[in-house]
Structures are given as structure tokens and as C-alpha cells.
Homo-oligomer: A and B are copies of this chain.
Amino acid sequence: MEDLNYKKLVNMITEAVYKEIKPKEESSNLFSIPVEVSNHHVHLTRDSLDILYGKGYELTKLRDLSQPGEFASNERVVLVSLKMKVIEKVRILGPLREYTQAELSITDGYFLGLDLPTRISGNIKGSPPIIIIGPKGVLTLSEGAIRAARHIHMTSKDSEYYQVKNGDRVNVEVSGEHGVIYKDVVIRVSSNSKLAFHLDTDEANAGNVKETTLARIL
């Protein structure tokens, strides 16, 4: 009888320990998420492109990006801050969007003299002003300069696999030596996605990210 009770107790303990310990082990997934590095770039509305490159101008494709339908264009602009600091040759990403914004790194921010807020793409309210210059015109934005919040694009199938949901903020580790664990990585789930962890150049360089680097959600 005593033995039986011991056994029952031990089973209860094993179960409790399993619950406590096992999820931690399972969350240490294999490194399986491709890492992509975004250099600074701009997104433009139809109206903005009209001003910068001329009425009805169409972006021409340099190369496809990983996210379906998105591309780097051959067209570039010059960015100027109100402190009269300049970054040349900033690429326009296509297709055109519902908002105009410049996505910059914190290093760019120091150079331009801007205190960049970290935002999900499209959320530019209250961000610093920036001047965008194209071959046909100048756009003076009262807001629009942000540092993009690092994020993982995934489909809902991926989100089931990784047990996360849209809008979650997770810690993400990258493979390789001298790596980094990025906190506050935003999960962005959409049907028209390809699995990819997006970092800016500061973030990638800090974590020693190479072309072969993979990431895992902790």
C-alpha cells in the first residue's frame, strides 16, 4: 500500500516536472527561419511617386524580394533631414503603398540627427519629418522617418507550427558565433507571406548575420 502511494506520488511529480520543463525544451527549436537584412529604403504612395518621378511614372523592377509581389526597384531617392544631413541612393521598394515612409537604421538616425521611433511599417504617426528628393520633385514630409520594428513574416500554417500568433512579440536567436537574441520581435501573419526574419543593418551586424544564418523562436 505504501509502495503504491509512492508510485502515484512519483507519477504526479513526473507529470508536474514534465509540464514545467518539457515546454522549455520544445521551444528550443532547430534553427529553421531564414534571416533577411533590409538596407534603408522608402515606400511611396502613388501621389508621392508622381511628385518625385513624374505623373504616372511606373517603378521598374531590379529584383524580387522574398515576400510575394514585393520588389526592389531601380529607382532611388535622396533623403535630407531638417539638420541638412543627406543620405543618397536610397532605394524605392515596390509595389506602391497606402503610405509614404522612410525605413532607416538607428545608425542612419544618428547620422541624420533624428531620434527614430521603432514602428511597424505604416505606423508613422508622430515620427520625425524627412525630405525626399527625386529627379522630378521634392516631397517635404511632416512625419515618416521610422526604424522598422524587427519582425517575422509567416503564414498561418507557420504560426501553428511555431505556436505564435499575429502581433505576438517573441525572443529570436540567430545561429552562428557572436550571435544575438533579439527581444520584441513582432510576429506578422498573413496568407501572402514567405517565412523570413527581417532585420535592419545594425541588427544584422550586431548579431554577425551572414547569408547562411538561420533563426529560431525561443
User: DSSP majority for the A interface?
Assistant: mixed
Contacting residues of chain A (166-218) with chain B, CB-CB under 8 angstroms: 171, 173, 177-184, 201-203, 205-208
What number of copies of this chain does the assembly contain? 2
Nearest Cβ distance between residue A145 and chain B, in whole angstroms? 15
Q: Does A163 contact B (CB under 8 A)?
A: no
> Which residue of chain B is the closest to A174 with respect to CB atoms?
B183
Which B residues are in CB contact (< 8 Å) with A182? Answer: 180-181, 206
Q: Are B202's CB and A107's CB within 8 A?
A: yes
Number of chain A residues whose Cβ lies closer than 8 Å to a Cβ of chain B? 29
Nearest Cβ distance between residue A134 and chain B, in whole angstroms? 25
CA of A147 to CA of B153, assembled, Å: 31
CA of A152 to CA of B20, assembled, Å: 33
Q: Does A106 contact B (CB under 8 A)?
A: yes
> Which residue of chain B is the closest to A171 with respect to CB atoms?
B181
CA of A201 to CA of B178, assembled, Å: 15
CA of A168 to CA of B46, assembled, Å: 55
Which of A5-13, A57-65, A67-75 interfaces with chain B?
A5-13
What are 8 pairs between A and B in contact, CB < 8 Å?
A13-B13, A107-B202, A107-B205, A177-B184, A179-B183, A181-B181, A202-B202, A205-B206
